[in-house]
Amino acid sequence: MFTILNNTPLILICILRLQCDELVEHGASVVDTPAAVVKKCKYTIAMLSDPSAALLVVFDKDGVLEQICSGKGYIDMSTVDSDTSSKINEAITSKGGYFLEAPVSGNKKPAEDGQLVILAAGEKSFPWIECMRDEEPAIAVQMISSRRFAGLDD
């Protein structure tokens, strides 16, 4: 099984299955919908191309809101405008979930070199923040170069 952060299993949704093949070969799981990721995972990470994609993943049928609930966290690493982030934050927290806005600054070269900058903002009560204080953030660098959606299972 492909794992990160203290042997945490990785579950993915890929726009093109072919893009996930290498991670699947190493044990990552692939599911079909954002709701399926949230259902299986305590923390869900989204890194999407633009505000419309970020909103679609959360609000559309089989989206994040169908499964987010108390005790689950949603980390949005997409670079989106503040209105989009606020809408997603309100929706996630209104269902009892935790929300962390964490856009990434950098491109493929800094990603390959482990030099991306994550600009994280959210409630101090988000449980994943404790985890990040003790761990070097090393989230599957291959995921940075294209649109991905992932979750961290318990």
Per-residue pLDDT 10s for the chain (154 aa) are 444 545 566 666 665 566 677 777 877 788 888 999 899 888 888 888 889 999 999 999 999 999 999 989 999 988 899 999 999 999 999 999 999 888 888 778 887 887 777 777 777 666 665 555 444 433 333 333 333 445 545 4
> Which residue has 């799981």 as its token pair?
29
pTM of the model: 0.75
The pLDDT score that the predictor gives to residue 142 is: 34
Measured distance between the N- and C-terminal CA atoms of the chain, rounded to whole angstroms? 13
Hey, which residues does 76 pair with through a beta bridge? 46, 101
CB 65 within 8 A of CB 95: yes
pLDDT of 41: 86
Residue 104 and residue 117 in contact, taking contact as beta carbons nearer than 8 Å: yes
Look up tokens 């299972």; give the residue: 153
Q: Which residues contact 62 (CB under 8 A, 6 or more apart)?
A: 32, 33, 34, 35, 36
Instruction: Say what the pLDDT of residue 121 is.
Output: 77
d(CA 73, CA 100): 8
Relative to beta strand 104-105, strand 117-118 is antiparallel
pLDDT at residue 10, rounded to an integer: 66
Q: Using CA atoms, how far apart are residues 129 and 143, in angstroms rounded to an integer? A: 21
